[in-house]
Amino acid sequence: MPKTSLLLAATAACLVAACDSGPENVQPIEGGQTGASATAAGGAVNVSGPAIRAVGSSTVYPFTTAVAEAFKRRYPQAATPIVESTGTGGGIKLFCGGVGAQHPDIVNASRRIKKSEVDQCAQNGVAQIVEVQIGFDGIVLVESREATPFNLAPRDVFLALAATRPDGRPNTARTWREVNPALPATRIEVLGPPPTSGTRDAFNELIMEAGCKTFPELAALKDSDEDTYKSRCTKIREDGAYVEAGENDNLIVQKLAANPAAVGVFGYSYLEENLDKVRGIPLGGVEATYDNIATLKYPAARPLYIYAKGEHVRAKPALKAFLGEYAEDATWGPTGYLKGRGLVASPDDIRAKNAAVVADLTPMDKTAVK
């Protein structure tokens, strides 16, 4: 079940406003507040309109929730933002469903939006997609603090979890030692996200494919037969070695505490939040630390995004102010409050570029999406 953050009950006053630049048959957004404004450093800020709704990535969820809390403290007269954890894929599907009151304003994403998703958005009248890179995260392998520490390389993870072995036969490895004689004879049991999760996409790309490419015959398939390459490199076995634990990363932490022999997969932010219960497993000899992720030394580092719907800004002026709260150095900078939630700050130039996107609500360049 999606988890929803309702910071306070939304006000019941009514606003009827058509969405800017949307299709003619789009229903107007209703509900929320009229004429709400506040004075900030830059002058009056319009925070009127119905409650902002964000859906998507479980990894980005705690960051957007923290921003929603700060936004409500700064603008108490604004309708209370609603933040839901639906997974990246499910969130983007909701976001791209159309323009109007029944569709979310923001989607949190632990990967970049795909061309097929941008096309789906366009088909449903969502053309003004504002892309904001909020920082970095790492895909981490974790174990219980009660477990015996060990190290893994992407090659080990690939050999343990791929549906087929490098020779094409079904993967029947039962213990980590069967994968690598230097590893313990512990049963392979990895708890991780489902296919709808952006974390799963990043896990496949940054760890599974990295391990797959250590076999030249499989790496060569990328150019000659990409479909076969993807299947051989990223198809996960379904015999119990990998257990889909849903979109709730806290559940993985709980299961690791109950089963110290298992390994978990989630974003770095959840490792930071639960260091009293779990610890990171070095990947390729590199520990998942803030500095290693920020410098991309950690091999499974990834950018995180939020996407906002430009068509909703006219009916929900508070959306611009909400994005502005996100794009302050006091929020997403190296010493910002999101660091305490586990977000790794982007370099100065990337933050400046994305702050400018927020200030101008610049739609993304769709031709750059794959």
- CATH code assigned at 349: 3.40.190.10
Residues 120, 67 share a domain: yes
Residues 200, 90 share a domain: no
> For position 43, what pLDDT does the model report?
58
> For position 190, what pLDDT does the model report?
97
Question: Rounded to whole angstroms, how far apart are CA atoms 53 and 101?
Answer: 10
Residues 185, 288 share a domain: yes
Please identify, among 301, 318, 353, the residue that sits at the C-terminal boundary of a domain.
Answer: 301
Residues 159, 83 share a domain: no
Residues 268, 251 share a domain: yes
> For position 36, what pLDDT does the model report?
60
For residue 118, the Cα-to-chain-centroid distance in whole angstroms is 17
Please identify, among 301, 318, 352, the residue that sits at the C-terminal boundary of a domain.
Answer: 301
Residues 280, 163 share a domain: yes
| Sequence letter at residue 168 | G
Cβ–Cβ under 8 Å, residues 293 and 179 = no
Question: Rounded to whole angstroms, how far apart are CA atoms 113 and 106?
Answer: 13
Give the domain range for residue 46: 3-137+303-368
> For position 225, what pLDDT does the model report?
93
Cβ–Cβ under 8 Å, residues 294 and 344 = yes
Residues 71, 96 share a domain: yes
- Kindly give the parts of the chain with pLDDT less than 50: 1-35, 39, 41-42
> For position 6, what pLDDT does the model report?
38
Please identify, among 248, 280, 301, the residue that sits at the C-terminal boundary of a domain.
Answer: 301
> For position 99, what pLDDT does the model report?
97
Tokens 């390459």, residue?
A: 229
Question: Residue 4 in 3-state DSSP?
Answer: strand
> For position 81, what pLDDT does the model report?
97
What is the C-alpha R_g of the chain? 22
Q: Which own/partner pairs from 36-39 qualify as long-range (CB within 8 Å, at least 24 positions apart)?
A: 36/75, 36/77, 36/78, 36/79, 36/318, 37/77, 38/74, 38/75, 38/77, 38/78
> For position 7, what pLDDT does the model report?
39
Question: Rounded to whole angstroms, how far apart are CA atoms 157 and 168?
Answer: 17
Residues 90, 47 share a domain: yes
Number of domains making up the chain: 2
Residues 240, 180 share a domain: yes
pTM: 0.72
Element of type H or E holding 290: helix 290-294
Residues 176, 47 share a domain: no
Residues 360, 267 share a domain: no
Residues 327, 187 share a domain: no
> For position 28, what pLDDT does the model report?
32
> For position 24, what pLDDT does the model report?
30
